[in-house]
Structure 1
Amino acid sequence: MKLYNTLTHKTEEFIPMQPGKVGMYSCGPTVYSHPHIGNFRSFLVADLLKRFLEFKGLKVTHIMNITDVGHLVDDADEGADKLEEAAKKQKKNPLEIAQFYTDSFVQASRMLNIKSPDNYPKATEHINEMIAMVQTLIDKGYAYVVGHNVYYDVTKFANYGLLSGNTLEDVNAGARIEINQEKKNAQDFALWKHDPKHLQQWPSPWGNGFPGWHIECSAMSSKYLGDEFDIHTGGEDNIFPHHECEIAQSEGASGKKFVHYWLHTRFLMFDGEKMSKSKGNLYTIQELVEKGFKKNAIRYSLISSHYRQNYNFTFEGLKAAEQAIDKIQQCANRLAELKKNAKAGEIGQQVKELCDKCLKDFDEALSDDLNISKALAVVFDFLREANKAQDANSAEAAALLDTINKIDSVLGILEAESETEIPANIVELAEKRKAAKAAKDWKAADAVRAELTALGWTVADVPGGGYKLKKAGDN
């Protein structure tokens, strides 16, 4: 398996530190507002990677943090805390804001069938670990105290800028913020901040204060995955300054290589435009569902392009995603019926070779830096052949269905939408209607539709001559 490593700027063979095991950390949400589709592209790429590693037989320990303090509005050391701004606007305390939007994030993640990480550590519950790491950095000469504040001296870390490609000369003081006279160097960043007006305060050896955003991930990843682990994921906006600073902190504190492989997801566009509040295109998952789009179609759309390419998200793309899923679901439903009702028999060589080739090609595609477009092409090639197996016996149908299920263990698009079992007589009627339409016997096709409706089922045509069955009352 090969992955593009942002740290080395090249595609590398993925070799876990421990055979058969993978430690993986993903930068999670700052919980001050409802997460939108732009946020979820990065989370879904992490989910796709995790599922694929498990598909390959690896045991993945996955940690995703919850940032509930210290993330300032400019992503650096200046400006207001994002949670405090939300708390003031909504007249609530920061912990209430954090819990409300954490619940919102978890709910939206479930809607998208994202597998829960092994732990969602919250920054506010790991202050002691952060203080200990800051003290270690001071003791080792990487950090210095000014009054009640603590800063990281970036000139002490030789590899600062290696991830992002920024040199210290590039990051000039006036590029993003006004010069802070307390700092030895304009590029130094805060590890611990003192602000009497801040609503969240903790005691420390340097006085009351709160942690800098960057130290949070270093401390929490170290606690749950160790000082050195395999994979760190996030959006491309995390590369600098956040991930650059994480490396400086963690390697300065431990003296070990922090992360072996860095994966970063490119930005999401909407209808060709940058996503922003002012444009009104920061859609949440719930808002898209309320517009009538399926949850699994949102997931499919967001994972359907390569993570290192900007993706243009559109409503037309969501409709196409629904049609693509329908094709997979209908094939799975038909095979499930064959598995139950077809004659017994053994798996023929042709079916065995078809299943083996599909799984092999699917594995090879995603092993090439998560080449999802190639992987999906493999899936639809398989479906074309599987749909030809009209006379498959029950064992062959089971093998073909098992192949689809193995693929879906990675894609995660059928599980949430396939809860209602379709009775054999309903499938038979739908197939009868399909045959009537193929024969252009519209009167017979309409009669079968009416019969299905009377039995409490609706049938909708999809491109390619297929159909989708839905029980009345199902979403």
Structure 2
Amino acid sequence: MRTWTPPVIPELPGSGEAPKLFNTATGRMEHPAIQDDRATLYVCGLTPYDATHIGHAFTYLTFDIMQRAWHDAGIETVYAQNITDIDDPLLERANDTGVDWRALADEQIGLYRSDMHRLGMIPPAHFVAVTEAIDEIAYGVKQLIERGFAYTVPTPDAEGDDIYFDVRGAQKESQWRLGDVAPYERDLLETLSAERGGDPEREGKRDVLDPLLWRAARDGEPSWESAVGVGRPGWHIECTVIAREALGELFTVQGGGHDLVFPHHEFTAAHATAISGKPLAHAYCHAALVSYDGHKMSKSRGNLVFVSKLLDGAHAGHCVDPSAIRLALLANHYRSEWEWFDTDLERAERRLAAWREGLERTPEEPASAAVVLQQLRAAMANDLDTPVMLATLDAALDAGVDDPCLIANAVHALLGVQLQPGE
């Protein structure tokens, strides 16, 4: 699937350090394993029916910054992302609005591409829609059946039976254990499964947590012929297969929003281990959730702030500079939950203006741009500490620097924020 034009990233003198990152699976700060100066990153994409809100942008900006840190450290990055362009929420929205689900998905994917391009996000090298990988996903389900990690549940209203992953069987016969990615108590796992796409009430399942691998065809629903019957894939196996096809086994980082820790990332890892005998990724990194109007920003609640409306002037009353949106988001550490206020954008616009003015300052005793760059790199290497990076630049540009061009390039390269016209 087509991505978007990549941003130009200025080259800086010297090099930074590979960042130490918080691994959700271990609860520790770690340097994810990188071989031959090459990192591989998979980030779960959106379901295209409400693109692109600030919560989405915060997640994708997190992994944009991660790639910029690797780039600055001289590490090549291969980035893959999916688009879940067939799923119950998409079908429900299409039905509610009377729009064909394919047309709705195409429209929203186009809007997402535009938003990401305008925000200066690094595009994935592999951008794969689920509907482009049905055969490969079905083959992954077939492998799980053949290895004894899947079973069918009678489904009278469908053309065939649904297929489920056997959590207990996988724990007994594979290297994966429940909690490898999401170290939560069983009661919480059951609650999260019910809230996030699971079906604990489904009769015939061996364990209430067992996730769907393949949904047999129902009347009125999209379906495909496949190696495991007519139907469509479940959520977790989609990312398992797309990630492994794009990046191979045991890639560097699996990323996404914190609401994906369980069940999604737990079971994508479970499926991968059950298929190959190897873990899915070295590290699991998650961006915190964003609230608005006192509640987590979500499609179901409708408390969304859309990137396109900010950029086009429909939300703030004027067209917002993409760099200001990035600064509003970067003021928050990626692992800290926070709430969006419209005043955040106003503060970011003031900061952007102050930085641009600071580049023009010619003080008698300017700050050393080389030292500032060193400080920025140190903060970036410490779990992508963007709030410290912003505070460092506030102080430096308030005082003035001895090499404005170096600082402008550093801000552009590391944060994706443009301080000079024509960048």
Same-fold status (TM-score > 0.5): yes
Q: Aligned partners of 2:328, 2:295: CA distance in 1, in Å?
A: 17
Query: Which residue of 2 is the match for residue 25 of structure 1?
Result: 42
> Residue by residue, what CA displacement relative to the aligned partner does 1:147-192 show, whole Å, maximum 9, x if unpaired?
5321100012331222212355654599554521221222111111
Query: Which residue of 2 is the match for residue 153 of structure 1?
Result: 166
Query: Which residue of 1 is the match for residue 229 of structure 2?
Result: 207
- One-letter amino acid of the structure 2 residue matched with residue 257 of structure 1: P
Q: Aligned partners of 2:232, 2:183: CA distance in 1, in Å?
A: 29
Instruction: Select 2:349's aligned residue among 290, 297, 322.
Output: 322
Instruction: Select 1:36's aligned residue among 31, 34, 53.
Output: 53
Instruction: Select 1:10's aligned residue among 28, 33, 58.
Output: 28
- One-letter amino acid of the structure 2 residue matched with residue 151 of structure 1: Y
Contact 2:331-2:386 at 8 Å conserved across structures? yes
Instruction: Select 2:415's aligned residue among 411, 414, 417.
Output: 411
Shift of 1:219: 0.6
Q: How does 1:254-403 map to 2 (within 5 A)?
A: 254-270=276-292, 272-276=294-298, 281-289=303-311, 290=313, 291=316, 292=318, 293-332=320-359, 334=360, 354-387=368-401, 399-403=403-407
> Residue by residue, what CA displacement relative to the aligned partner does 1:336-372 show, whole Å, maximum 9, x if unpaired?
xx9xxxxxxxxxxx98x92321121111111111111
Contact 1:168-1:187 at 8 Å conserved across structures? no
Contact 1:25-1:63 at 8 Å conserved across structures? yes
Q: Aligned partners of 1:6, 1:225: CA distance in 2, in Å?
A: 21
Please, which runs of 5 or more residues in structure 2 have no aligned partner? 1-18, 154-159, 172-176
* Larger RCO (CA within 8 A; separation ≥ 6): 2
SS of residue in 1 equivalent to 2:283: strand
Q: Aligned partners of 2:340, 2:272: CA distance in 1, in Å?
A: 36
Query: Which residue of 2 is the match for residue 234 of structure 1?
Result: 256
Contact 1:94-1:199 at 8 Å conserved across structures? no
Q: Aligned partners of 1:205, 1:110: CA distance in 2, in Å?
A: 37
Query: Which residue of 2 is the match for residue 344 of structure 1?
Result: none
Q: Which moved more, 1:54-63 or 1:166-175?
A: 166-175
Q: How does 1:425-464 map to 2 (within 5 A)?
A: none
Q: Aligned partners of 2:101, 2:22: CA distance in 1, in Å?
A: 38
Shift of 1:286: 2.2
Shift of 1:329: 2.0
Query: Which residue of 1 is the match for residue 93 of structure 2?
Result: 86
Instruction: State the aligned residue count.
Output: 383
Shift of 1:323: 1.2
Contact 1:145-1:151 at 8 Å conserved across structures? yes
Shift of 1:107: 1.0
> Residue by residue, what CA displacement relative to the aligned partner does 1:71-96 show, whole Å, maximum 9, x if unpaired?
xxxxxxxxxx1121122223232221
Q: Aligned partners of 1:354, 1:246: CA distance in 2, in Å?
A: 47
TM-score by length of 1: 0.75
Residue 183 in 1 paired to residue 205 in 2?
yes
Q: Aligned partners of 1:278, 1:5: CA distance in 2, in Å?
A: 29
- One-letter amino acid of the structure 1 residue matched with residue 337 of structure 2: N
Query: Which residue of 2 is the match for residue 196 of structure 1?
Result: 218
Residue 133 in 1 paired to residue 151 in 2?
no
Shift of 1:41: 1.1
Q: Aligned partners of 2:51, 2:300: CA distance in 1, in Å?
A: 16
Change (3 A) 1:25 1:183: same
Change (3 A) 1:15 1:357: farther
Instruction: Select 2:69's aligned residue among 52, 75, 88.
Output: 52
TM-score by length of 2: 0.84
Q: Aligned partners of 1:127, 1:278: CA distance in 2, in Å?
A: 27
Shift of 1:274: 3.3
Contact 1:228-1:259 at 8 Å conserved across structures? yes
Q: Aligned partners of 1:372, 1:357: CA distance in 2, in Å?
A: 17
Shift of 1:139: 1.3
Shift of 1:380: 2.5
Residue 67 in 1 paired to residue 84 in 2?
yes
Shift of 1:253: 0.6
> Residue by residue, what CA displacement relative to the aligned partner does 1:81-139 show, whole Å, maximum 9, x if unpaired?
11211222232322211111100111111222212111211000001110111111111
Contact 1:69-1:213 at 8 Å conserved across structures? no
Shift of 1:61: 0.7
Q: Aligned partners of 1:114, 1:194: CA distance in 2, in Å?
A: 37
Shift of 1:278: 7.7
RMSD (Å), alpha carbons: 2.4
Kindly, what percent of the aligned residue pairs are identical?
29
Shift of 1:266: 1.0
Instruction: Select 1:124's aligned residue among 131, 147, 165.
Output: 131
Q: Aligned partners of 1:234, 1:242: CA distance in 2, in Å?
A: 10
SS of residue in 1 equivalent to 2:368: helix
> Residue by residue, what CA displacement relative to the aligned partner does 1:19-73 show, whole Å, maximum 9, x if unpaired?
3111001111101223211221111111111112112211111111111013xxx
> Residue by residue, what CA displacement relative to the aligned partner does 1:1-35 show, whole Å, maximum 9, x if unpaired?
3110001011113331x131110011111012232
Q: Aligned partners of 2:149, 2:299: CA distance in 1, in Å?
A: 39
Structure 1 runs, 4 residues or longer, greater than 6 Å off: none
Change (3 A) 1:275 1:205: closer
SS of residue in 2 equivalent to 1:203: coil
Q: Aligned partners of 1:133, 1:404: CA distance in 2, in Å?
A: 47
Change (3 A) 1:315 1:127: same
Q: Aligned partners of 2:301, 2:148: CA distance in 1, in Å?
A: 46
- One-letter amino acid of the structure 2 residue matched with residue 412 of structure 1: G
Q: Aligned partners of 1:286, 1:206: CA distance in 2, in Å?
A: 40
> Residue by residue, what CA displacement relative to the aligned partner does 1:400-426 show, whole Å, maximum 9, x if unpaired?
3123212321211217x8339xxxxxx
Query: Which residue of 2 is the match for residue 435 of structure 1?
Result: none
Which protein is bigger by CA-based radius of gyration? 1
